[in-house]
Structure 1
């Protein structure tokens, strides 16, 4: 690549992600499929970025993210709560279908999360993290290993969109998304590239 890029790697499959249960604070391991996905994500990363070791690799402290980084062949410089998943509060462990039994039409993007983070709080956390990594991007690629909803917020905020615009981006387990810029304008270089 001609420019340094910000790469987002979502963790591989867990038991809850496979069944659509909201998984924020709960520290679940990868399934066997998730482990294979993480290995494959490492191959995808290597194919996409042959320009050497990233200057910085940050990971969520959840075991599913750390294990994905390990299996993908990435050395994590720091595990940080800045990369934690959206805090689902009272909805932790529930599916959207279950939540809609009491809150019709509920989505993480459009409704409140009792006991959890608001879209504004998640947006502020994403902005702080992006400010931090922009400095490191001057020296090389940066990799962030994290979660589905928070990665979608990072994409939206990278583009200068509201956090809730994350609804428009898909980020599947063990996928790689690459963010960059063209002449100072932020752009998505690759979105939701599946593990190969």
Structure 2
């Protein structure tokens, strides 16, 4: 049985120029900004303070994820399952731009033409969490990834449909901690970060 101390840490990559300007970024491989690199280093200090048990670290293979893991001091293995929600035709667009043709659009409530369906994201999130949870009897797990997929992971750990990822925050460079209370999945900490509030809604 999983111990009460077992944890899965979700680390969103640091700021990129596209994230700073609100452009949806899935497969486009943009680097961290200087601020994003600082965020990644600060996240590493916060992870070290958690005192994780021999953590297994996995990262999105995209440069913004891998570089964040490196700067955070995580010896992370790349895992394609941690890539961002595929925005399809909306890649590189901001939410206001998308809403010019689709009023009220969000990635959680509306489709992405040519991209990934919510059902596919939910299945992927469930697979990631199942594999991570299978390791927890022996060691903690750190997953380095992206904004919307991290929010999908939070929703699924809480037993909610992926749609409800809209209710969780995942700022650039932020940490969230998943754990247990009396055997029940619990979000122990959410969106621990050190940046100004006006950066929190950046995507991808």
Q: What TM-score do you get using the length of structure 1 for normalisation?
A: 0.95
> What number of residue pairs does the alignment pair up?
193
How far is 1:53 from its partner? 3.2
Structure 1 stretches lacking a partner, 5+ long: none
- Name 2:136's counterpart in structure 1: 137
Aligned to 2:198: none
Q: Do structure 1's residue 74 and structure 2's residue 74 form an aligned pair?
A: yes
Cross-structure match for 2:202: none
Regions of 4+ moved over 3 Å: none
SS at match of 1:136: coil
Superposed CA RMSD: 1.3
Which consecutive unaligned segments of at least 5 residues does structure 2 have? 196-204
Distance 1:51 1:124, change over 3 A: closer
Deviation at 1:46, TM superposition (A): 1.3
Distance 1:134 1:52, change over 3 A: closer
Separation of aligned partners in 1, 2:69 and 2:63 = 10
Q: Quick one: structure 1 residues 52 and 3, their matched pair in 2 at CA, closer, same or farther if it must change by over 3 Å?
A: closer
Contact 1:38–1:195 (Cα < 8 Å) also in 2: no
Q: Normalized against structure 2, the TM-score is what? A: 0.92
**Is residue 2:54 matched to residue 1:18?**
no
Aligned-pair CA distance for 1:80: 1.1
Partners of 1:175 and 1:192 within 8 A in 2:
yes
Following the alignment from structure 2 to structure 1, what is the Cα–Cα distance between the partners of residues 52 and 39?
A: 23
CA–CA separation in structure 2 for the residues paired with 1:182 and 1:63 = 35
Distance 1:149 1:69 in 2: 18
Residue by residue over 1:54-93, the C-alpha shift from the partner in whole angstroms, topping out at 9 and shown as x without a partner, is 1x111000000000000000101x2111000000000000
CA contact (8 A) 1:43 1:195 kept: no
Counterpart in the other structure of 1:150: 149
- For the residues of structure 2 that align with 1:51 and 1:143, how far apart are their CA atoms? 9
Distance in 2 (CA, whole Å) between partners of 1:166 and 1:138 is 27
Query: 1:60 maps to what in 2?
Result: 60
Partner of 1:88: 87
Match of 2:5 in 1: 3
